[in-house]
Amino acid sequence: VFELEERYVSLLGEARELAAEVAPFADRADEADRFDPDVRKALVASGLTSVVVPAAFGGRFEKVDSLAVTVIREGLCAESAHLDGMFAMQGIGSFGLVTAGSPSMQERWLPKVASLDAVAALGLTEPEVGSDLRALTTRIESVDGGVRVHGHKSFITNAGDADFYLILGKEALADGGDGYTLVLVPTDTPGVYVDHPHQIIAPHVLGDVVLDNVIVPTDHRIGEPGKGFKIVLATLATFRVSVAGAAVGLAESALHEAVRHAAERELFGTTLDRLGGVPAALASSWVEIEMARALTYRAAAAAAVDPLASLSLSSMAKVGATEMAGRVVDRAVQVMGRFGLVRGSKIERLYREARPMRIYEGSSEVIYDSLAKALVKSVTA
């Protein structure tokens, strides 16, 4: 399949329309560390968050479709990382509930996630634990009348604005070993505290979540004890490729900024787009964007059919497109000279926003490591 089907083209169009609506206040929203009310209002009105929840719970499509999420993120991230993050986290923060939540939790939360009446979040990272998730220290245990969750999660997107967190912790299993379990913790549960100790170079709705002996009812368990990683993997398999879509949208936006500038700026008796290495910088960026887009759509289309079977392809798209966005946005700034460095300009914002993409949802090194393992296995098997 080399062209997007009509329904995806139309979703991309919807996303671009919403992005254009948000564009006048995107610079303000992208500096915010809490939900921007106008972005939220526009996203609600667009109805696009219904794409990240299955139809049975108020969603737009029968099941969550990775290609749909990916093209929407392409459209949104071209204008605003804040808007893109708000959209994407509704899916990433609720997919565990979709795949393995109890019926009571699904009915209580998913329709509200679809309409953005409830904000979702996923808590994996801890102050001392990132890529090496098996080292996490949050404890989960059954107690009389419920489940106790005790620990500290860090760098959690939507912390402070979320209505619930899916928390991954360690639990002693019946067989005597330790396993990893996912539990839904509503924000208003006693013992949940949110703090904002860090902000990053591209401001983000981000915070730490402390869970101080929090007790939730048993139906708040997501799946069986010890099955947490499997559920997190299903989430990654469905959503990782959508980061590639966001990176393609961001890179294209940066290239267009540079092209507009270079075509207008006159020096040495011509325009900048004809000078020295500038044509090659612009054209090679265009080539890289189109290559990344082709792999991204292919991987997302495969993930829409069978997310787990296509995880390597999704990982390739994620690492390929986010590394590409880093190069493209850097070249764009270089082409624009001092104008590319001005605080508050769109290109400066895109430059900062491209950077975290290579670290979250599987850092480039961690993805290369797992791809290399898969490659060696496939060639030597």
Ligand X SMILES: Cc1cc2nc3c(=O)[nH]c(=O)nc-3n(C[C@H](O)[C@H](O)[C@H](O)COP(=O)(O)OP(=O)(O)OC[C@H]3O[C@@H](n4cnc5c(N)ncnc54)[C@H](O)[C@@H]3O)c2cc1C
Give the interface with ligand X as residue ranges (CB under 6 A): 122-125, 130-131, 155-157, 200, 204, 206, 356, 359-360, 363, 365-366, 369
Query: Helices 81-92 & 37-46, crossing angle to 10 degrees?
Result: 60
Residue 262 beta carbon to ligand X: minimum distance, rounded to whole angstroms? 30
Q: Which is nearer to ligand X, 125 or 322 (CB)?
A: 125
Can you tell me the distance from the alpha carbon of 97 to that of 133, in angstroms, rounded to the nearest whole number?
20
Can you tell me the distance from the alpha carbon of 26 to that of 210, in angstroms, rounded to the nearest whole number?
30
Residue 17 beta carbon to ligand X: minimum distance, rounded to whole angstroms? 26
Q: Which is nearer to ligand X, 285 or 315 (CB)?
A: 315
Q: Which is nearer to ligand X, 12 or 236 (CB)?
A: 236
Closest C-alpha among 281, 286, 267, 127 to residue 211:
127
Q: Which is nearer to ligand X, 83 or 156 (CB)?
A: 156
- Report CA 45 to chain centroid distance, whole Å: 21
Q: How many other C-beta atoms are found inside a 10 Å radius of the C-beta of residue 45?
A: 11
Collapsing DSSP to helix, strand or coil, 100 comes out as helix
Can you tell me the distance from the alpha carbon of 6 to that of 371, in angstroms, rounded to the nearest whole number?
32
Can you tell me the distance from the alpha carbon of 301 to that of 1, in angstroms, rounded to the nearest whole number?
9
Q: Which is nearer to ligand X, 228 or 281 (CB)?
A: 228
E strand or H helix at 195, and its extent? strand 192-195
Q: Which is nearer to ligand X, 264 or 369 (CB)?
A: 369
The span from the first CA to the last CA of the chain, in angstroms, equals 29
Closest C-alpha among 60, 73, 58 to residue 16:
73
- Report CA 165 to chain centroid distance, whole Å: 15
Q: Which is nearer to ligand X, 28 or 198 (CB)?
A: 198
Residue 280 beta carbon to ligand X: minimum distance, rounded to whole angstroms? 30
Residue 342 beta carbon to ligand X: minimum distance, rounded to whole angstroms? 23
Q: Which is nearer to ligand X, 194 or 366 (CB)?
A: 366
**Residue whose Cβ sits closest to ligand X:** 130
Q: Which is nearer to ligand X, 131 or 137 (CB)?
A: 131
Residue 312 beta carbon to ligand X: minimum distance, rounded to whole angstroms? 17
Residues 197 and 153 sit within 8 Å (Cβ to Cβ):
no
Q: What is the largest CA-CA distance in the chain?
A: 80
Residue 193 beta carbon to ligand X: minimum distance, rounded to whole angstroms? 17
- Cβ-proximal residues to 75 (8 Å cutoff; 6+ apart), any chain: 12, 13, 14, 15, 16, 18, 19, 249
Residue 206 beta carbon to ligand X: minimum distance, rounded to whole angstroms? 6
Closest C-alpha among 137, 22, 4, 25 to residue 71:
4
Residue 128 beta carbon to ligand X: minimum distance, rounded to whole angstroms? 8
